A and B are shown apart, each in its own frame.
Chain A
Amino acid sequence: MKKLLKTLMMVAALAGGIGGFAVVPANALVEIDVNKGTIEPLPIAITDFLAGDALGAEISSIVTADLKRSGLFAPIDKGAFIEKISNPDVAPRFDDWKVINAQALVTGRVSKEADGRVRAEYRLWDTFAGQQLSGEQFFANDTNTRRVAHIIADAIYERLTGEKGYFDTRVVYIDESGAKNARKKRLAIMDQDGANARFLSDGKSIVLTPRFSPNRQEITYMSYESGQPRVYLLQIETGQRELVGNFPGMTFAPRFSPDGQKVIMSLLRDDGNSNIFAMDLRSRNTTRLTNSTAIDTSPSYSPDGSKVVFTSDRGGRAQIYIMGADGSGQNRISFGDGVYSTPVWSPRGDLIAFTKQSGGEFQIGVMRTDGSGERILSSGFQQEGPTWAPNGRVLMFFRDAAGGGGPRLFSIDLTGRNEQPIPTANFGSDPAWSPLLE
């Protein structure tokens, strides 16, 4: 992947005057305020990219699907378009787009370079201000055209919302198949929209809870392959696996530190309780962070690495606690009516996502890091395991509907109003979002 990443680089911004048409700096142009309580999706027209083949329409449809699923954009049906873009280098007829209420317009072109690479360029227009908002071109090797589309979608998202995008990302998850009492579980990875799924394990052993490294093509996960359930590292591209530490009992619930240098996880004690340890991947030194006769699990670092949020039932039932990254100052932060688990710190640092069991249902919610401001985003018969998109505005989780046969993946944004199924070939669980690809 590393090699592939390097071949995909942004080259030049297509700024500057085009056809006697000046680019104006962004001010008071079309934009989306993602912090408003209710967001009216922005009407946007995304034209087929000019191309000698079907690739132009494909790029356009991937960009359209990404923006639509975000809930912040309302792509306009192509059937309504009046102007047919024949040269994306010249300004469009803005009146033709205003009349169908396209507040933003995307045009572009895809072509093959002599060396076989794909060149894709786009321009984003503000139709009512009558100006270009951004324009860039990207190169990719031709096995990688979907990524070009995701990168373009991210650029449009970022330009119009002021937030980083999250479309050029992947998700590692557990592919589940077979009957519930004989379920085969395999590590799998896919693009965030469900495309390009492939397996990373053979299904012979139970594997659970994969999590992405923040800065390497590597995951940490738990596997039963040695007989005892233990935490492993897996290099995604080489398939190389490695046991994390050499502990006598079960290790589980792993996550990376924000610098990627540590794995924090639970270790089973001989008395049947579980405590939290961190292991430095270079020195192999382990640090005990909790020492309670309770279940302490599901640790997750704050993005600055200074704190850890975790689940503990030391107070009777499972609740959410925060401590310093050295184990100091362990304090409970969840006090709502129910059982709380799987806390995950937002990459922005402002919120903690969690699973809550209350009133016979499972809920996905968020709270501030002091436990205040709890908001439930989604409720269902059985659902758990939130993971954050790298921009901290969208969560993915898995849900097992009663009678549904097995778990499926869903995303939901922080408003709780935009829930989207993530297509997977089989059942899916334990999603973990990658950082933005490089």
Chain B
Amino acid sequence: MRRIARLAANPVMIALFASLVIAGCASKKTPNSAADLGLGGAGAGTPGSAQDFTVNIGDRIFFDTDSTSIRADAQQTLARQAQWLNKYSQYSVVVEGHADERGTREYNLALGARRAAATRDYLAGQGVNAGRIKTISYGKERPVAVCDDISCWSQNRRAVTTLGGAGS
């Protein structure tokens, strides 16, 4: 009896889910920087300040589902980050790796760690001394976007470069 009831309920759930996904895609775009997230206007911040880094350089990159590859758009962001970090060498950084909620907790802790390491390695490849870069994984425990569809998941699959001593 219970099984029948659940099967009957499923098509409704699937239809609801599909409409959420469509609505999400139509109304939101994936942000590329903190500025897109409303953290400040373009051009804000003294050159070399944490705000300069976050707003003008872009402190975060995004990943495809279950992937740790650095995408082309992310490569551009990381090249800017590396250039900036090479110029302002007083900063150490912590790269936070994050996953979306579409995975289990333990696997996503590992996935976030792998994303943070891939980001660290890319920055190091751009000349940033790896000794300046620490990594930490938050798995899926610290989402920035909280809806239940792909428009949020794509924002949560991210690596955020935070400046040491300047907070995040």
Residues in A lying within 8 Å of B, measured CB to CB: 179-181, 183, 185, 206, 208-209, 222, 227-229, 249-250, 252-253, 266, 268, 270-274, 295, 297-298, 311, 313, 317-318, 339, 341-342, 355, 357, 360, 379, 381-382, 384-385, 400, 402-403, 416-419, 429-430
Judge whether B117 and A271 touch: CB under 8 Å.
yes
Q: Is B102 part of the contact surface with A, judged by Cβ < 8 Å?
A: yes
What are 8 sample pairs from A and B whose C-beta atoms fall under 8 A apart?
A180-B143, A208-B105, A209-B105, A229-B136, A250-B113, A268-B113, A274-B114, A418-B2
Chain B residues with Cβ under 8 A from A318's Cβ?
103, 107
Known contacts A272-B116, A274-B113, A402-B20; A419/B107 CB under 8 A: no
Given A180-B146, A272-B114, A419 and B2 touching (CB < 8 A)? yes
Q: Which residues of B contact A (CB under 8 A)?
A: 2-3, 6, 10, 13-14, 16-17, 20, 66, 68, 101-107, 109-111, 113-118, 121, 135-139, 141-146, 148
Q: Which 5 residue pairs spanning A and B have beta carbons closest together?
A: A272-B117, A180-B146, A272-B114, A295-B110, A253-B106
A417-B106 contact given A228-B136, A317-B66, CB 8 Å threshold? no
In the complex where A208-B141, A402-B13 touch, is A295 in contact with B146 (Cβ < 8 A)?
Answer: no
Set of chain B residues within 8 Å of A342, measured between Cβ atoms: 104, 106-107
SS class of chain B's interface: helix, strand, loop or mixed? helix
Please tell me if the beta carbons of B2 and A341 are within 8 angstroms of each other in the complex.
no
Q: How far is the CA of A252 from the CA of B111 in the complex (A)?
A: 12
User: Chain A contacts of B3 at CB under 8 A?
Assistant: 416-417
Alpha-carbon distance A71/B133, docked complex (angstroms): 54
- Name the residue on B nearest A180 (C-beta): B146
Determine if B141 and A206 form an interchain contact, defined as CB atoms under 8 angstroms apart: yes
Given contacts A181-B142, A185-B141, contact A266 B110 (CB under 8 A): yes
A384 lies within 8 A of B105 (CB): yes
Given the interface pairs A297-B110, A317-B66, the reply to whether A403 lies near B104 with Cβ below 8 Å is no
Closest chain B residue to A252 by CB distance? B109
CB pair B102–A229 under 8 Å, yes or no, is no
Residues in B with CB closer than 8 Å to A180 are: 143, 146
Set A179, A250, A382: member contacting B109, Cβ < 8 A: A250
**In the assembled complex, which residues on chain B have CB atoms less than 8 Å from the CB atom of A253?**
106, 109
The reply to whether B107 and A181 form a contact with Cβ atoms under 8 Å apart is no
Known A-B contacts A180-B143, A268-B113; the reply to A341 vs B13 at CB < 8 A is no
Q: Which residue of A lies closest to B114 (CB)?
A: A272
Q: With the chains together, A355 CA to B106 CA distance in Å?
A: 11
- Shortest C-beta distance, A374 to chain B (Å), equals 17
Least Cβ distance of A80 to chain B in Å?
22
- Report A128 CB to chain B, min CB distance, Å: 26
Contact (A272, B101) CB under 8 Å given A181-B142, A229-B136, A403-B148:
no
Give the distance to chain B from A292, nearest Cβ to Cβ, in Å: 12
Contact of A209 among B2, B16, B106, B148 (CB under 8 A): B106
Nearest chain A residue, comparing its CB with the CB of B143: A181
Chain A contacts for B6, CB-based, 8 A: 379
Contacts A249-B113, A272-B115 aside, 7 further interface pairs with beta carbons under 8 A come to A206-B138, A297-B110, A311-B104, A360-B17, A402-B16, A402-B17, A417-B2
Q: Which of A272, A274, A385, A417 contacts B68 (CB 8 A)?
A: A272
CB distance from B115 to the nearest CB of A (A): 8
Give the contacting residue for A298; candidates B10, B68, B107; CB below 8 A. B107
Provide the bound-state CA to CA distance between A313 and B139, in Å: 16
A272 to B135 alpha-carbon distance, docked (Å): 9
A273→B106 contact, CB < 8 A: no
Q: Is the CB of A297 within 8 A of B106?
A: yes
Closest to B115 in A: A272
Complex Cα distance, B107 from A430, in Å, reads: 14
Cα distance, A429 to B141, chains bound together (Å): 12
Q: Give every chain A residue within 8 A of B148 (Cβ-Cβ).
A: 381, 402-403
A-side contacts of B137, CB under 8 Å: 229, 250, 268
> Which of A249, A272, A339, A400: most chain B Cβ within 10 A?
A272
Q: Are A183 and B141 in contact (CB under 8 A)?
A: yes
CB distance from A236 to the nearest CB of B (A): 22
What's the nearest-Cβ distance from chain A to residue B119, in Å?
Answer: 9
Cα of A313 to Cα of B106 in the assembled complex, Å: 13
In the bound complex, do residue B104 and residue A384 qualify as a contact, i.e. CB atoms below 8 Å apart?
yes
What's the Cα separation between A179 and B101 when bound, in Å? Answer: 15
A87 CB, min distance to chain B CBs, angstroms: 40
Known contacts A268-B110, A311-B107, A384-B104; is-contact A181 B17 (Cβ 8 Å): no
In contact, A355 and B104 (Cβ under 8 angstroms)? yes
Which residues of B lie under 8 Å from residue A209 when comparing CB positions? 105-106
Docked-complex contact B113 and A298, CB < 8 angstroms = no
- For A229, the chain B residues whose CB sits under 8 A away are 109, 136-137
Chain B residue, CB-CB nearest to A380: B13
Measured CB to CB, the nearest residue on chain B to A383 is B104
Give Cα distance in the complex from A273 to B138, angstroms.
15
Q: Report the bound CA distance from A209 to B109 in whole Å.
A: 11
Residues of chain B with a CB closer than 8 A to A430's CB: 105
Complex CA gap A272/B112 in Å reads 9
Q: What B residues does A311 contact at CB under 8 A?
A: 104, 106-107
State in angstroms the CA–CA spacing of A391 and B148 once bound together. Answer: 36
Query: CA separation between A430 and B103, bound complex, in Å?
Result: 14
Partner of B106, one of A249, A341, A416, A429: A341
> In chain B, what residue has the closest Cβ to A253?
B106
Q: How far is the CA of A250 from the CA of B139 in the complex (A)?
A: 12
Give the residues in chain A near B104, CB-CB below 8 Å.
298, 311, 341-342, 355, 384-385
Residues of B within 8 A of A179 (CB): 146
